[in-house]
């Protein structure tokens, strides 16, 4: 009974701790969301620019008056300046094209009356009719102030512009210009008389007044976001998490008040998904407000984030394969004391906290994915205000949660699930292979930049696996407290060693002055370097040689050795023996060797090389460099 009481207390404190964590996350999210909403609105109001330069276009916004008077008309001038050979489309683009579109946000009492474009040029080529503008042009917009317009220094005219600029290829660009009233950005209204006008144009044809986007455009983006979220459920990194939640529902099918419990867990899971998506939204918007040009997937540009995802996918894979279990203690207690302890039975129920955390997990593992429709919705939202971003990410979250939200409409689906049994173990193991594929995908991404360091990343993942295996063997309800402590210590040591390995593997040794340039070994190149009176170092190595890679990573490319070799102007040659090479084999035999690693150093003026030991140290190598 004492063991039972201790185990119940431990599980109670763990559950209580998880609930505190969830409450903390929710509170931080609410505070951060409100702060982001205020900050984005403040920045949108305070940071205005009347001129902006994009990749191939410069835009400038001016007014014909310094201050707007009630019951008056005035003009806005939009100056377009294009790079040589680039052009934008006219309102009548010809056979095809994307003319500029304007989204005005105006103070109360102002309306757009007319948009005037200069006469377009004929840019037809290859049989296609194209009308547009090159070099520079001006667009004029006539606005009218009503009689009840109130003059205020807080009034802002904001103009969102979306256009296509083309040369051999076409690029869609977005910009937001603004004027605070009164303004000093004034142009000479007499320029209007010199503008050859096209046919009169309806302002509503290419703008959405008083909003950043047309209602139909907003609705389309929300539909795209919802569809993208639904398709995320089919991604191999998300599907296993959904299967785990489905297994939880299968366990509830025969419980009393199962329908109520299922609804609670569905809402908890959905809340986890929606909050995590909004956290990502706030991070994305926050970085853009700070001036960083980022989009969806920017997190995969960080090798640290990719390694963390790889570790997370590996942990889930091992859990699905049964290497270690989460919640095994209370499950065993339920089996041991079933029917004799209502307290234990209550503690073994799957809590809504776990469902909330699984919703967060589903969103996190979905971050490397970009489903169809999803990229379009997010890309379009980046030029919209914060509330629009919030709606789009809300649509993504609802789409990702929709398979479980649909159970609220069709609750009988859960009753038709098979009873808990061996099929659950088979499904978990199958999903483990899908999660393993996601781990390999992360490694493939890392291989593009850290190909030489990939073996060390694999060593780190192996250490993580070893630590979790030890945890699964020693930290079960069937082992003593002493074995638990030993298991936890060994698991922590393995994880610390793993992350230390990751640090060394991802340490940046490939930029600027840190670059170690290895030349491909040839006898002619070595003789040429020696004839130039340069010291020569030849590293006989192979990718399958662990000792060779250790020497290269921790000795030859260390900072002290690198700086010393640079000071001596050492010519570095790498003899790669990964595949059979007769030339390298003969060179090894000339040194009396038939194996690697082998490092040969030729000082200036010395015919025979100095052969360094297989297990190399910095001090030994630096000693060879010393005269």
Q: What is the pTM assigned to this prediction? A: 0.57
Query: Residue 4 has what pLDDT?
Result: 46
- pLDDT, tens digit (0-9, with 9 covering 90-100), for 65-77: 878 888 888 888 8
The number of helices, as runs of H, and strands, as runs of E, in the chain is 19, 16
- pLDDT, tens digit (0-9, with 9 covering 90-100), for 214-232: 555 677 778 888 888 888 7
Cβ(205)–Cβ(108) below 8 Å: no
Residue of 623, 446, 456 whose CA lies nearest to 552:
456
pLDDT at 493 over 90: yes
pLDDT at 535 over 60: yes
Query: Residue 509 has what pLDDT?
Result: 46
CA distances from 176 to 45, 87, 179, 282 (A): 12, 20, 11, 20
Query: Residue 99 has what pLDDT?
Result: 84
pLDDT at 291 over 70: no
Identify the residue whose tokens are 């070799």: 565
For residue 258, the surrounding DSSP H or E stretch is helix 258-289
**Residues facing residue 182 across a β-bridge:** none
Which of 123-137, 230-244, 438-452, 507-521 comes out lowest in average pLDDT?
A: 507-521
Query: Residue 337 has what pLDDT?
Result: 44
How large a percentage of the chain has pLDDT more than 90?
5
DSSP 14: H
Backbone angles phi, psi at 144, to 5 degrees: -125, 130
State mean pLDDT over 609-622.
87
pLDDT at 426 over 70: yes
DSSP 555: I
Question: Which position has the higher pLDDT, 181 or 323?
Answer: 323
Query: Residue 189 has what pLDDT?
Result: 61
pLDDT at 235 over 50: yes
Residue-range domains of the chain with CATH: 2-37+226-302+327-420 (no CATH), 51-212 (2.60.40.10), 512-625 (3.40.30.10)
pLDDT at 612 over 50: yes
Query: Residue 46 has what pLDDT?
Result: 47
- pLDDT, tens digit (0-9, with 9 covering 90-100), for 128-181: 778 889 888 888 888 888 888 877 656 788 888 888 888 777 777 878 888 877
pLDDT at 199 over 50: no
What is the number of residues in the chain? 627
pLDDT at 321 over 50: yes
Angle at 239 between CA 238 and CA 240, to 5 degrees: 95
Query: Residue 461 has what pLDDT?
Result: 93
- pLDDT, tens digit (0-9, with 9 covering 90-100), for 476-492: 777 778 888 888 899 99
State mean pLDDT over 95-101.
78
What is the rounded CA–CA span in Å between residue 51 and residue 184? 13
**pLDDT range class, residue 384, cuts 50, 70, 90:** low
Strands 72-82 and 136-145: antiparallel
Cβ(62)–Cβ(50) below 8 Å: yes
pLDDT at 460 over 80: yes
Helix 258-289 and helix 386-405, axial crossing angle in degrees, nearest 10: 150
SS3 content of the chain, % helix, strand, coil (to 5): 50, 15, 30
Identify the residue whose tokens are 């210590």: 489
Query: Residue 210 has what pLDDT?
Result: 37
3-state secondary structure 377-397: HHHHHCCCCHHHHHHHHHHHH
Backbone angles phi, psi at 211, to 5 degrees: -140, 160
Query: Residue 464 has what pLDDT?
Result: 93
State mean pLDDT over 340-357.
58
State mean pLDDT over 376-380.
64
What is the rounded CA–CA span in Å between residue 567 and residue 561? 10
pLDDT at 299 over 70: no
State mean pLDDT over 240-261.
66
Q: Report CA torsion sign: 314, 502, 513, 596.
A: negative
Query: Residue 494 has what pLDDT?
Result: 92
What is the rounded CA–CA span in Å between residue 559 and residue 626? 16
């Amino acid at each position: 009974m004492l063991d039972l009481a201790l185990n119940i207390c431990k599980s109670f404190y763990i559950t209580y701790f998880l609930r505190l964590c969830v409450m903390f996350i929710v509170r931080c999210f609410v505070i951060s969301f409100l702060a982001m909403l205020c900050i984005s609105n403040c920045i949108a109001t305070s940071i205005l620019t009347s001129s902006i330069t994009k990749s191939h276009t410069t835009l400038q916004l001016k007014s014909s008056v310094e201050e707007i008077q009630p019951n008056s008309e005035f003009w806005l001038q939009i100056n377009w300046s294009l790079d040589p050979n680039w052009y934008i489309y006219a309102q009548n683009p010809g056979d095809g094209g994307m003319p500029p579109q304007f989204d005005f946000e105006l103070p109360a009492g102002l309306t757009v009356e007319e948009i005037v474009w200069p006469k377009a040029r004929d840019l037809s080529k290859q049989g296609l009719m194209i009308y547009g503008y090159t070099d520079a042009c001006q667009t004029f917009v006539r606005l009218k102030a009503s009689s009840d317009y109130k003059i205020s220094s807080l009034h802002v005219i904001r103009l969102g512009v979306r256009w296509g600029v083309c040369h051999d290829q076409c690029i869609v660009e977005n910009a937001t210009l603004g004027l605070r009233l009164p303004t000093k950005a004034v142009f000479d209204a007499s320029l209007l008389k010199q503008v050859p006008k096209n046919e009169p144009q309806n302002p509503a044809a290419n703008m959405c007044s008083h909003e950043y986007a047309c209602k139909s455009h907003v609705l389309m983006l929300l539909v795209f976001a919802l569809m993208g979220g639904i398709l995320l459920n089919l991604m191999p990194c998300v599907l296993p998490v959904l299967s785990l939640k489905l297994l939880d529902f299968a366990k509830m099918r025969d419980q009393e008040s199962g329908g109520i419990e299922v609804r609670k867990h569905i809402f908890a899971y959905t809340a986890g998904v929606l909050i995590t998506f909004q956290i990502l939204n706030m991070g994305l918007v926050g970085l853009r407000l700070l001036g960083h040009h980022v989009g969806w997937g920017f997190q995969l540009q960080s090798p640290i984030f990719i390694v963390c995802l790889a570790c997370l996918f590996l942990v889930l894979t091992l859990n699905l394969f049964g290497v270690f279990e989460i919640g095994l203690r209370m499950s065993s207690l339920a089996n041991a004391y079933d029917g004799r302890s209502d307290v234990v039975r209550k503690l073994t129920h799957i809590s809504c906290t776990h469902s909330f955390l699984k919703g967060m997990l589903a969103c996190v593992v979905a971050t490397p994915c970009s489903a169809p429709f999803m990229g379009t919705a997010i890309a379009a939202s980046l030029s919209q205000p914060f509330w629009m971003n919030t709606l789009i990410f809300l649509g993504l979250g609802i789409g990702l949660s929709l398979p479980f939200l649909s159970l609220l409409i069709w609750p009988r689906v859960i009753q038709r699930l098979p009873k808990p049994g061996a099929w659950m173990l088979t499904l978990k193991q199958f999903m483990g292979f899908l999660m393993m594929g996601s781990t390999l995908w992360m490694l493939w991404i890392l291989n593009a930049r850290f190909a030489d360091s990939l073996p060390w990343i694999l060593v780190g993942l192996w250490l993580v696996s070893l630590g979790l295996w030890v945890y699964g063997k020693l930290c079960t309800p069937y082992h003593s407290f002493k074995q638990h402590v030993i298991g936890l210590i060994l698991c922590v040591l393995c994880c610390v060693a793993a992350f230390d390995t990751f640090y060394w593997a991802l340490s940046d040794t490939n930029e600027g002055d840190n670059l170690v340039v290895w030349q491909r070994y040839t006898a002619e190149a070595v003789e040429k370097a020696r004839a130039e009176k340069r010291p020569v170092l030849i590293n006989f190595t192979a990718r399958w040689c662990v000792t060779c890679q250790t020497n290269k990573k921790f000795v030859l490319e260390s900072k002290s050795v690198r700086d010393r070799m640079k000071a001596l102007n050492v010519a570095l040659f790498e003899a790669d023996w990964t595949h059979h090479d007769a030339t390298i084999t003969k060179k090894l035999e000339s040194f009396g060797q038939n194996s690697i690693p082998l490092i040969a150093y030729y000082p200036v003026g010395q015919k025979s090389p100095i052969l360094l030991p297989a297990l190399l140290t910095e001090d030994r190598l630096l000693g060879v460099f010393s005269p």
